[in-house]
């Protein structure tokens, strides 16, 4: 075990060294490359960058997964579309407001210096106004056309991301945990859009998303640790010079996905095929985490990061395909095909939008 004082001293030395490297770089921090300066900038590009459209597409996907797992075979496609749209508006709002707050730090990082705000393509006041409008629109849509609980979850996600996660990024490595909470809420929103409540199975699904984000982000943060240090962000790999703590945390959280996914079948959320696929897929995921823990280099971190991107949609897809066909109780009673919901009797909350 390493004492806290030794760990803190290592953090300080590592951070000081990386900041000195950043200060002596010969590349102007906010100067675009020749290719970037020659590339025409469209409003479509600016909008997708401000709203983090590619990242938030995954957020919307997890909302859809929560919805489909909750409704069984009785799918209200209009209601699903509204839930996804409301989630997209809320996620876009959080992304924009986050960039308004982090404009200066984004300008210091090579990876983010050409985003619309630090690049001067959009005034901060315009972005802030757009973020607020989108957030209110997302909350209003979910609260009025779905139900109040889903709207509250969407609004809470914006507030947690903007008022907790963003300010914590330069202050503590625990920001990753808070950020993971934000990623765990969208599948709950999909679930509550159907049921109007948060059931135990919904917490299992949210737990999977929460835990998955930790190895996913730690692998990314290790790859860009110098850049995060340049921007003054307190990410664990910035301070963990030898990568021991970072890689061990990634490995342990990856292994934690195994019991979480098996419990999805125990709660009647998914079937046995999903349990088997998730088990073996997670073992492969964990094997890559072992490689990262062994070598602690950029190559194994990048491999783990890419594997995490492939792992999540594959596991979620199989969960949806094999959704809720059995429960353990039904299996023990000799009726393995009992469904969570009767096909002709959707949950009471599953009503057409007004």
State the pLDDT confidence band at 13, using cuts at 50, 70 and 90.
Answer: low
State mean pLDDT over 9-31: 46
Of all residues in the chain, the percent with pLDDT exceeding 90 is: 77
Give the pLDDT of residue 73.
Answer: 80
Task: Give the per-residue pLDDT at 329.
Answer: 52
Residue-wise pLDDT for 64-103, tens only, equals 999 999 997 889 999 999 999 999 999 999 999 999 999 9
Tens digit of each residue's pLDDT (9 = 90 or more) over 299-317:
999 999 999 999 999 999 9
pLDDT at 296 > cutoff 80: yes
Does position 295 have pLDDT exceeding 70, yes or no?
Answer: yes
CATH of domain 43-332: 1.10.600
Determine the pLDDT at residue 342: 38
Burial of 138 (0-12, 13-18, 19+ CB in 10 A): buried
Q: Show the 3-state SS of 297-354.
A: CHHHHHHHHHHHHHHHHHHHHHHHHCECCCCHHHHHCCCCCCCCCCCCCCCCCCCCCC
Minimum mean pLDDT range among 187-191, 301-305, 332-336: 332-336
What's the mean pLDDT in 114-139? 97
The structure tokens listed for 9 are 């001293």
Give the phi and the psi of residue 150 in degrees, each rounded to 5.
-65, -40
Cα–Cα–Cα angle for 64, 70, 71, nearest 5°? 90
At CA 57, angle to CA 69 and CA 283, rounded to 5?
60
Give CA separation, 351 vs 136, 145, 267, in Å: 24, 10, 24
What average pLDDT score do residues 33-37 get? 45
Higher pLDDT, 61 or 323: 61
Please, what is the average pLDDT of the chain?
Answer: 86
Three-state helix/strand/coil letters over the chain: CCCHHHHHHHHHHHHHHHHHHHHCCCCCCCCCCHHHHHCCCCHHHHHHHHCCHHHHHHHHHHHHHHHHHHHCCCCCHHHHHHHHHHHHHHHHHHHHHHHHHCHHHHHHCCCCCCCCCCCCCCCHHHHHHHHHHHHHHHHHHHHHHCCHHHHHHHHHHHHHHHHHHHHHCCCCCCHHHHHHHHHHHHHHHHHHHHHCCCCHHHHHHHHHHHHHHHHHHHHHHHHCHHHHHHCCCCCHHHHCCCCHHHHHHHHHHHHHHHHHHHHHHHCCCECHHHHHHHHHHHHHHHHHHHHHHHHCCHHHHHHHHHHHHHHHHHHHHHHHHCECCCCHHHHHCCCCCCCCCCCCCCCCCCCCCC
**34-53 average pLDDT score:** 77
Which of the four pLDDT bands, split at 50, 70 and 90, describes residue 238? very high
Residue-wise pLDDT tens digits, 126-137 = 999 999 999 999
pLDDT value for 173? 96
Q: What is the pLDDT of residue 344?
A: 34
- How far is Cα of residue 15 from the mean position of the Cα atoms in its chain? 26
Q: What pLDDT, on the 0 to 100 scale, is given for residue 323?
A: 87
Q: Determine the pLDDT at residue 38.
A: 46
- Judge whether 85 and 150 are in contact, CB under 8 Å: no
Please state the φ and ψ torsions of residue 110, each to the nearest 5 degrees: -65, -35
Around Cβ 11, how many Cβ atoms within 10 Å? Answer: 17
Q: What is the mean pLDDT of residues 314-328?
A: 81
Query: With 50 as the cut, is the pLDDT of residue 31 above it?
Result: no
Angle made by CA atoms 320, 321, 324, in degrees to the nearest 5? 65
pLDDT at position 39: 55
pLDDT at residue 261 in the model: 95
Lowest mean pLDDT among 171-175, 210-214, 331-335: 331-335
- Greater confidence (271 vs 334) lies with 271
Strand partners, 248: none
Predicted pLDDT at 155: 97
Burial code of 104-136, b = ≥16 C-beta within 10 A, e = fewer? ebbbbbbebbbbbbbbebbeeeebbebbeebbe
Confidence (pLDDT) at 183? 96
Average pLDDT over residues 134-150: 98
The pLDDT assigned to 77 comes to 96
pLDDT at residue 303, rounded to an integer:
98
């Amino acid at each position: 075990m390493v004492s806290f004082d030794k760990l803190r001293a290592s953090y300080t030395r590592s951070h000081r060294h990386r900041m000195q490297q950043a200060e002596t770089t010969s590349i102007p921090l906010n100067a675009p490359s020749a290719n970037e300066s020659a590339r025409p900038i469209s409003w479509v590009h600016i909008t997708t960058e401000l709203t983090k459209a590619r990242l938030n597409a995954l957020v919307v996907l997890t909302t859809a997964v929560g919805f489909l797992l909750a409704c069984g075979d009785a799918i209200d496609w209009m209601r699903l579309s509204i839930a996804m749209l409301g989630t997209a508006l809320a996620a876009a709002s959080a992304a924009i407001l986050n960039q308004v707050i982090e404009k200066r730090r984004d300008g210091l990082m090579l990876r983010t210096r050409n985003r619309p705000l630090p690049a001067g393509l959009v005034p901060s006041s315009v972005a802030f106004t757009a973020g607020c409008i989108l957030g209110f629109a997302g909350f209003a849509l979910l609260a009025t056309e779905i139900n109040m609980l889903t709207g509250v979850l969407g609004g809470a996600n914006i507030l947690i991301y903007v008022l907790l996660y963003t300010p914590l990024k330069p202050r503590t490595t625990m920001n990753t945990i808070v950020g993971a909470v934000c990623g765990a809420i969208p599948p709950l929103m999909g679930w509550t859009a159907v049921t109007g409540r948060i059931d135990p199975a919904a917490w299992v699904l949210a737990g999977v998303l929460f835990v998955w984000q930790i190895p996913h982000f730690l692998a990314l943060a290790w790859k860009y640790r110098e850049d995060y240090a340049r921007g003054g962000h307190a990410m664990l790999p910035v301070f963990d010079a030898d990568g021991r703590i970072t890689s061990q945390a990634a490995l342990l959280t990856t292994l934690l996905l195994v019991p979480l996914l098996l419990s999805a079948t125990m709660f009647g959320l998914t079937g046995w095929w999903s349990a088997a696929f998730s088990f073996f897929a997670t073992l492969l995921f964990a094997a890559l985490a072992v490689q990262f823990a062994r070598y602690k280099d950029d190559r194994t971190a990048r491999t783990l990061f890419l594997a995490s991107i492939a792992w999540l949609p594959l596991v979620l897809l199989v969960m949806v395909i094999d959704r809720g066909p059995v429960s353990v109780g039904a299996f023990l009673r000799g009726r393995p095909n009992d469904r969570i919901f009767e096909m002709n009797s959707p949950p009471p909350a599953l009503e057409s939008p007004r």
